Amino acid sequence: MAVAGLPLPMVDIAHYLDDCKFILVSNREPYEHMRGATGVEVKQPAGGLVSALDPTMRRTHGTWVAWGSGTADRDVTDEAGRVAVPPDENCYTLRRVWLDDADVNGYYHGFANQALWPLCHMLIQHFEFRTEYWERYRTVNLRFAHAVADEAERCSGRAMAWIQDYHFALAAEYLRAMRPSLFIHQFWHIPFPPADILRLLPDGTHQAVLRGLLGNDLIEFQIDRYAANFLDCVEKFVPEARVDHARQTIVFRDRLVAVGAFPISIDVERFEQMAASPESEARVATLRDRYAKGTRQLGVCVDRIDYTKGIPERLHALETLWTESPELRERFTFLFVCTPSRTDLPAYAMLEREVLQSVMAINTQFGTPDWTPIVFINENVDSDLLANVYRAADLCIVSSLQDGMNLVAKEFVACQLDERGALILSRFTGSAEEIEGAILINPFNVDGFVAGIRTALGMSPEERKRRMHRMRRDLHNSTIFDWLDSILARATGIMGAQRIAQRQVAAV
């Protein structure tokens, strides 16, 4: 079997788990078995979560429960859907949950991404609720809960289940009913909306989502505002729950549920290594020679094509800038790296067409024989090449309309080894509350957006270096491993307090 993966960072968080079995739950799996020309190939998807958690899973010999999406996944598992990974090392167990096309359409494309996703990002014009999608979402969440309960039952000692994201809003409650003593916690990667937005879900459904999440012992959000929104929603819609805003706790069904903010980050060292490689040096020189000769600057933006990312707003700002300030034409070139995403959903397919048409119109209007204003890359780009683009750039725009965190901003900072770049960052990202030194913009305010681009273009090298140096220093103190450390420290602390309380009750 051929394996395409990433180098493992030498960071060990396993000491928090001690004698506790670690069960991780996510929609996407850490390894996919795919049928290839030479047989079964194994691929490890790129991403911060996988690169952070795979080493911990290896060292703790835990179990990762996920949707089995690879074309050869069924061929290599036992009757329970279990397979040892990584191949030839067999350090931990991957427990696959099987979903058919109707499951994926209803649970994933339907309720998760046409109801929860737009509501949580407060873009309600994209919100669509279908009862059949909700029922399928419930069914799939129950199926995952059964798989986790089965894995917990296989443990001889304690176990901890860690659920990832909005795909599983109901799983903790189901799992709690099956395994009342299991420690369960969940990280909600995207924003959590205020009560007036959440209540757009039909009556009964938004309460079910909240009660589902209250099956956890600890619920983790990106920033305090999202945690506060959750507490407000529980207070308004779950009358039997007692909310303590100051302590960020909820008493529900005689259990204490803790809530907290744990901003996610990236593997900073890995991005720096990719940006510093000899191959990177050559690619950076090529990029700058091609797009940033002389005094011309190179801009970059990296997004999935998603209506939350503010891509049309960014294009409108650039068009306005070049229309109102002809002297800024040919002053900079923008590399737009836009990865296709959820193309099965009409809203995403329509957005992709709109973006392509806008890019073509801008290039036709402003381009010259020697200058293409926007170089549009509409395909998946590997992490190594992205690191080179980040390092080569003079400015990066992140213009999300809403974003849980947005790690592109942090990736750009990590790869700015030469400290030449300026970061233009939407106020509506979690990153805006994490990063000091960025030029903050409101993507809905085109004049303010244009002013932010002007500021970045006119910023002196000394000011850029001062700002970027601070951003890089702060980022080194807040990596994805610090994120993981803080969550596991909090979780194991709560577990310890629960055990003490149980012993005290037993002694009475």
The Cβ of residue 204 has, within 10 Å, a number of other Cβ atoms equal to 8
Global confidence as pTM: 0.94
Q: What is the pLDDT of residue 396?
A: 98
- On the question of a cis peptide bond just before residue 86, with omega within 30 degrees of 0, the verdict is yes
- Residue 122 gets the label, from left (phi > 0), alpha (psi -120 to 50) or beta, of left
**For tokens 């999935």, what's the residue?**
304
Q: In the prediction, which pLDDT does 15 show?
A: 81
Which residues neighbour 229 within 8 Å (Cβ) at sequence distance 6 or greater?
Answer: 191, 192, 193, 194, 195
As a whole-number percent, the residues of the chain with pLDDT over 70 amount to 97
CB hemisphere CA count around 508 (13 angstroms): 5
Q: How remote is the C-alpha of 199 from its chain's centroid? A: 24
Domains of the chain: 2-265+482-499 (3.40.50.2000), 268-477 (3.40.50.2000)
Half-sphere exposure of residue 66: CA atoms within 13 angstroms, side-chain side: 20
What does the alpha-carbon distance between residue 394 and residue 460 come to, in Å, rounded to a whole number? 11
Sheet holding 159-164, edge to edge: 82-85, 92-97, 63-67, 21-25, 159-164, 183-187, 218-221, 255-261, 249-252, 242-244
Q: Are 220 and 228 in contact (CB under 8 A)?
A: no
In DSSP notation, 156-174 reads SS-EEEEEESGGGTTHHHH
pLDDT < 50 regions, the chain: 1-10
Predicted local confidence at residue 3, as pLDDT = 40
Residues with Cβ within 8 Å of residue 291, at least 6 apart in sequence: 298, 333, 335, 375, 392
Eight-class DSSP state of 30: S
CB atoms within 10 A of CB 195: 15
pLDDT tens digits along 184-194? 999 999 999 99
Cβ proximity of 66 and 97 under 8 Å: yes
What sign does the CA torsion over 140, 136, 183, 48 have?
positive
